[in-house]
Structure formats: C-alpha cells, structure tokens
Amino acid sequence: MPESRIAELLTPYLGDAAVPPALFAQLGAYLDLLLRWNARTNLTAIRDPEGIVCRHFGEGLFCGREINKRLRADASVLDFGSGAGFPGLPIQLLLPEFRVTLAESQGKKASFLREAVRTLNLPTEVWAERVELMPPDRRFDAVTLRAVDNMELALETARERIAPGGLLVSFTSYNPPVTASPTAESIPLPGASHSILTLDRL
C-alpha cells in the first residue's frame, strides 16, 4: 500500500500529533510483514489491508497519542496480550523514545513480534511469557489492554504492573466501562461508534 494512502487513512487517528519522518514507511513494512505471516498464521481476523491500517494501526496510534499527553517523554509501556503488536508497536513507532514491552505468551505470535521488531529495527522488548511471570517488582508507567481474553481478570493483573501514578489503558465497548474507576477518562475511538479508549490513573 502506498505511504500516501496509509497517511490518508490514519489522519483521523493522528490529529495534531507530531509524526516521526519514517512513520508511514515503517507502517507499510509492518503491514507487508503482517499480511505475509497472516496468510499462514492467524494473527488477525481482519484481512483487508485498509481495515488493518484503520482498526489496528490507527487505534494503536490514537492510543499512543493520548498516552503521550499524560506521561513523560521516556515513559515505559507494557502491551498486555499484544497479539500481533496492537497497540504496542504503533505506539513505539509513533513515540520512539518510549520504552515499550510487548507481552505475548502464544509462541507463534511472539515469534511474529520478534520478527517485526527486528524488521523495523526497534528497541522494543518482547516478553514471550505470561505477564504474571515477570519479576514481582517490575512496574510500568502505563499498561495497555486490547482484545485480551477475560478482560476483567487481565485488568486485575495489569493493575499490579502499574507504577504509582501510572495509567491503565483499555479498549472496550462498554460505556462507561464496568472495570474503570469513577475518575477514569473515556474517549471515543475515531470511526468506531461502539468502542472507547479508557484511561485510568492509578
């Protein structure tokens, strides 16, 4: 897909965010790799390239944009149950100074994440185990969750990984989300009338 088309599709998600010069070229390489792997390994149910750019890349970039407004420039982010890298890899591409860890315990998906990190020449860490197996004292400035199994249980585990004053960031179709605190912010995702991004300061 041409970089110009990727940029056009992502305009609603990026808004006025500062965009690294290589962002759209890197997203193009990420898309090519994802499509190749997805042909033999089920990484995402969305097969249409433009759908992947909007739903996966766009929503990940939107998440990064909102996190960036609330955290310091070198913040640490854990993408809990990263799957094919959403939202963690788009966040890393948009915010190269962030320290992103992709946690994915399924072997084939973790292998894809390692290949994506290598192909895109990123500093991103891949944690190919369950989050519960991380060292007990390991904490992050933000933890993101999107399309994980058993969201309520995952949110409980995620809270244990957030540094004081950090953010719990979840994608949900509930409004307001049943798991959020009264002070949580809920932001509609562009182009997704039933989905919201919830940011909960802990």
Rounded Cα–Cα distance for residues 79 and 199 (Å):
14
Structure tokens at 202: 């802990």
> What was the pLDDT predicted at 104?
97
- Encode pLDDT of 97-141 as tens digits: 999 999 999 999 999 999 999 999 999 999 999 999 999 999 999
CATH number for position 107: 3.40.50.150
Per the model's pLDDT, the better-predicted residue between 78 and 73 turns out to be: 78
Q: How many domains does the chain have?
A: 1
Range of the domain at 29: 3-201
Average pLDDT over residues 181-186: 84
Q: Which residue has the tokens 């070229």?
A: 25
Q: What is the pTM of this model?
A: 0.94
Measured between its terminal Cα atoms, the distance across the chain in Å is 40
Q: What is the DSSP track for 79-145?
A: EET-TTTTTHHHHHHH-TTSEEEEE--SHHHHHHHHHHHHHHT---EEE-S-GGGS-TT--EEEEEE
Pairing assessment for the beta strands 99-103 and 162-172 based on DSSP bridges: unpaired
- Encode pLDDT of 15-74 as tens digits: 999 999 999 999 999 999 999 999 888 888 888 999 999 999 999 999 999 999 999 999
Cβ(167)–Cβ(142) below 8 Å: yes
| All residues at 6 or more sequence positions from 86 whose CB lies less than 8 Å from its CB, including other chains | 56, 57, 59, 60, 79, 146, 147
pLDDT > 80? residue 180? no
pLDDT > 80? residue 178? no
Single-letter amino acid, residue 52: I
Rounded Cα–Cα distance for residues 171 and 186 (Å):
10
Backbone phi, psi, residue 113, to 5°: -60, -40
Return the SS3 of 159.
helix
